[in-house]
Structure 1
């Protein structure tokens, strides 16, 4: 499947997969760090960013989105790449590892390790953020939206459930992310499909799982279940929320580079 993407650097290929409602630009804080030693390909999932929607009749399940990423890699003739993902993208990374079609997978606060109550919380928060983004996008032009989100109160209201350090966010990037969230046609069907998401099959490729210590959307207690599923320790990202790439780019880049070494983590 043809998808919008940004490609930088050289070395072993590394696919970056964003979370629900986001776009490839979520990875901008870490892309150049990764591109120093990897062929980095940050992709827009179907129905998000500038990518087309899934074909009519195709459900927006995590497995279908993983199919799209796998076929995208085949289209680029990228074979057995490393992959890293955040949130829904983290689940997709683990799903691809369970298929054995990637060299390694790094998942940052991956979806799917929730209880029923935690799932309802996640869906409620995300619906609220989508509604707020739609309101902001309708009410303001690009420039006004950037200035609105630059204010301390507005920026925190938009970002506090996703990052631990809202003051570090670039207001222009935050405005672009808000517009991407408001406009994504894949948001609602993908969010509804969360109801049926369960941990994927055991991985056939080496994996690394890391979790923001201050994640408010998918709280860190879910990391305990991820550790039990994977049979290995989950790395806690201190000072980071659900989008650790924005909170501590250097730490996240290091975790991804270490995780994408061609070996099983110790």
Structure 2
């Protein structure tokens, strides 16, 4: 079965309070948020989805693009009666929540290390380095638990994604690494990021709520210099820097990520 418009995305709901919608990037689906999900749910009703072709949501039947993936989330928001919901995304998901804000969908927006703001050269390097990394991890899949259980293995495999991979636990990173190689839409979504159009911006005063962009100072996927392009395209945005942090704030700076999300969407 493939995802079609109107089909509810697989999702989990935890906690109570004002709703908070979490959108993952390439990887494990909603489980990408596991390092901070429970703490967020202590203060808010957290709704974390699996995008089409990730986790337990079937793939799209047609074109996979940032636009069509974002359409699926916009449909979900309407289906679930979540008009005005605060949205949080990371990586590809961060680009998608910015796209939702650009469309006027949702409320407050938090985008953590968003893709879509590369130069032509940067996006070429991004694709040329990430594809072989995914192929390598796919070849090593049977040995991933053992490799990621080792500080040396984590350092070698995750240097592009984390500023301190040796300090992470295997339980933190294994779902995302497995999801990166197992999800049926990883390749198509990566093509959409690399070959598709860059992210469009939103003129000042046109977004539906506050926009906060968080960026890791040591991000080797969405390079820190791209933050200037993002804030130029979204002039209403407030920029927050995560020091000693790579592409996954929920890995490298979980407590700071929780504070930023709660403070920016209260």
Q: TM-score, normalised by structure 2?
A: 0.90
- Aligned residues of 2:155 and 2:165 also touching (Cα < 8 A): yes
Change in 2 beyond 3 A, CA 1:117/1:22: farther
Q: Give the RMSD, CA atoms, in angstroms.
A: 1.5
Gaps of 5+ in 2: 1-6
2:152 aligned with 1:149, yes or no?
A: no
Change in 2 beyond 3 A, CA 1:18/1:216: same
Give the secondary structure class of the aligned counterpart of 1:234. Answer: strand
2:227 aligned with 1:226, yes or no?
A: no
Give the 5 Å matches for 1:172-183. 172-183=171-182
- Aligned residues of 2:34 and 2:172 also touching (Cα < 8 A): no
Report the count of equivalent residues. 254
1:6 match: 12
**What is the CA–CA distance in structure 2 between the aligned matches of 1:74 and 1:136, rounded to whole Å?**
40
2:260 match: 255
**What is the CA–CA distance in structure 1 between the aligned matches of 2:57 and 2:168, rounded to whole Å?**
25
Residues 80-130 of structure 1: CA deviation (Å, up to 9, x unaligned): 210000111001000111111201111011111110111012112221221
2:251 match: 246
Give the secondary structure class of the aligned counterpart of 1:46. Answer: coil
Residues 185-234 of structure 1: CA deviation (Å, up to 9, x unaligned): 11111111122232234152221111001101111000111121122442
- Give the deviation of 1:163 after TM superposition: 1.1
2:124 match: 120
- Aligned residues of 2:152 and 2:166 also touching (Cα < 8 A): no
1:264 match: none
Change in 2 beyond 3 A, CA 1:63/1:46: same
Give the secondary structure class of the aligned counterpart of 2:140. Answer: helix
- Give the deviation of 1:39 after TM superposition: 0.8
**What is the CA–CA distance in structure 2 between the aligned matches of 1:217 and 1:201, rounded to whole Å?**
20
Give the secondary structure class of the aligned counterpart of 1:34. Answer: helix
**What is the CA–CA distance in structure 1 between the aligned matches of 2:117 and 2:23, rounded to whole Å?**
18
Give the 5 Å matches for 1:200-211. 200-202=200-202, 203-205=206-208, 206-211=210-215
- Aligned residues of 1:146 and 1:174 also touching (Cα < 8 A): no
**What is the CA–CA distance in structure 1 between the aligned matches of 2:248 and 2:197, rounded to whole Å?**
20
2:4 match: none
- Give the deviation of 1:177 after TM superposition: 2.3
- Give the deviation of 1:76 after TM superposition: 2.3
Residues 152-187 of structure 1: CA deviation (Å, up to 9, x unaligned): 221112211111121232213433322211111111
Give the secondary structure class of the aligned counterpart of 2:21. Answer: strand
Gaps of 5+ in 1: 262-266
- Give the deviation of 1:53 after TM superposition: 0.3
